[in-house]
């Protein structure tokens, strides 16, 4: 366990994605060995979204200090802000799926998916779904398709995985919606501010890059807005703005034929050189290298 007062470990994309073919996505099946120690059993959080599907086994999953008893088959939906710890009664088996929003850079129109449906929100719905036989069959089919594309990638695999993931998440949303109780508690005021900020970011990211602009629009201080985004996204406002700009830049580079200079202008950058430095710093590869699908990592 983490000692009192010790910082909570944070695992980022470099820990989970960098050694694999896809920079924004990871999927694997797993089966605990009775003789091996269980990994990451101490409380921790991630900078990405994670889905843990327990097909067999039981235990206790503590998410943001709330205990959730589980017994497979069940699904856990973890957003970046969650601090969680799994305590297993014994060996379990299942799947782990990890991604960030940039995985949808290859599928235009999917950027609002997580925001619109609140699939990972646990404000009104517990972040665990117990699955019946029909749900297991449906989700297993999609999970296997993603796993196959991940293990045997082709030039089209990124697009195919993004499409399967979108369908998977929407099916999960349907299951969550069906499991909701008729009476739901009123969302916290700060959560509503967070959702308003995210919607505002979608509308303004291409011409507003300053934290102060969003804070002024919400009639709060930058410090308060950072506290709000930390609580619900595990990231500060500046990080979320940068991630949204990078996501759109990837989409324009991947799908379109605009020059780097034209993309820079469309995203509100003063010149192409500044945009190139921004993109390279935040992705580890230049815009030209990203477009060529042969990224050159920057040390």
pLDDT of residue 5: 44
- Which residue spans of the chain are classified as CATH 1.10.10.60? 189-291
pLDDT of residue 7: 64
Pairwise CA distance, residues 139 & 210, whole Å: 40
- Which residue spans of the chain are classified as CATH 2.60.120.280? 10-179
Q: Is the pLDDT of residue 185 over 60?
A: no
pLDDT of residue 231: 82
What b/e sequence results for 28-54 when a residue is b if at least 16 CB atoms lie within 10 Å of its CB, and e otherwise?
Answer: eeeebeeeeeeeeeebebbbbbbbbbb
Pairwise CA distance, residues 130 & 132, whole Å: 7
Tell me: cis bond preceding 181? Omega within 30 of 0 counts: no
276 Rama sector, left if φ>0, alpha if ψ -120 to 50, beta otherwise: alpha
> For the domain 189-291, what is the CATH superfamily, name and number?
Homeodomain-like (1.10.10.60)
Asked if CATH classification 3.40.605.10 holds for the domain at 10-179, the reply, yes or no, is no
pLDDT single digits (tens) 165-178 = 989 988 988 887 77
Question: Exposed, middle or buried: residue 241 (CB in 10 Å: 0-12, 13-18, 19+)?
Answer: buried
What token pair was written down for 131? 């699955």
pLDDT single digits (tens) 190-247 = 888 988 898 899 889 999 999 999 999 999 999 999 999 988 777 899 999 998 898 7
**Which 8-state DSSP code applies to residue 44?**
B
- Residue 51 has phi, psi (to 5 degrees) of -115, 125
pLDDT of residue 18: 61
Q: Is the pLDDT of residue 270 over 60?
A: yes
pLDDT single digits (tens) 86-102 = 888 888 999 999 988 77
| Residue 50 host element (H or E) | strand 49-56
């Amino acid at each position: 366990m983490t000692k009192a007062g010790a910082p909570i470990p944070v695992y980022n994309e470099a820990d989970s994605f960098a050694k694999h073919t896809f920079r924004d996505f990871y999927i694997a099946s797993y089966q605990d060995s009775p003789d091996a120690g269980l990994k990451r059993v101490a409380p921790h959080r991630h900078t990405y979204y994670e889905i843990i599907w327990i097909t067999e086994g039981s235990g206790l999953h503590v998410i943001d200090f709330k205990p959730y008893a589980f017994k497979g088959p069940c699904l856990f939906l973890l957003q970046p802000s969650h601090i969680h710890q799994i305590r297993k009664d014994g060996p379990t088996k299942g799947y782990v799926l990890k991604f960030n929003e940039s995985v949808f850079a290859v599928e235009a129109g999917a950027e609002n998916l997580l925001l619109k449906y609140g699939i990972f929100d646990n404000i009104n719905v517990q972040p665990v779904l117990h699955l019946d036989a029909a749900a297991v069959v449906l989700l297993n089919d999609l999970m296997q398709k993603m796993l196959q594309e991940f293990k045997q990638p082709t030039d089209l695999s990124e697009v195919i995985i993004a499409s399967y993931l979108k369908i998977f998440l929407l099916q999960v949303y349907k299951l969550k919606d069906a499991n909701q109780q008729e009476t739901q508690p009123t969302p916290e005021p700060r959560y509503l501010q967070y959702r308003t900020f995210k919607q505002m970011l979608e509308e303004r990211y291409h011409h507003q890059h300053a934290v102060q602009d969003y804070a002024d629009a919400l009639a709060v201080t930058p410090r308060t807005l950072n506290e709000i985004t930390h609580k619900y996204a595990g990231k500060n406002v500046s990080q979320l703005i940068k991630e949204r700009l990078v996501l759109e830049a990837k989409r324009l580079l991947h799908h379109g034929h605009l020059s780097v200079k034209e993309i820079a202008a469309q995203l509100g950058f003063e010149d192409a050189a500044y945009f190139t430095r921004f993109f390279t710093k935040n992705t580890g590869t230049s815009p030209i290298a990203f477009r060529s699908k042969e990224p050159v990592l920057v040390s």
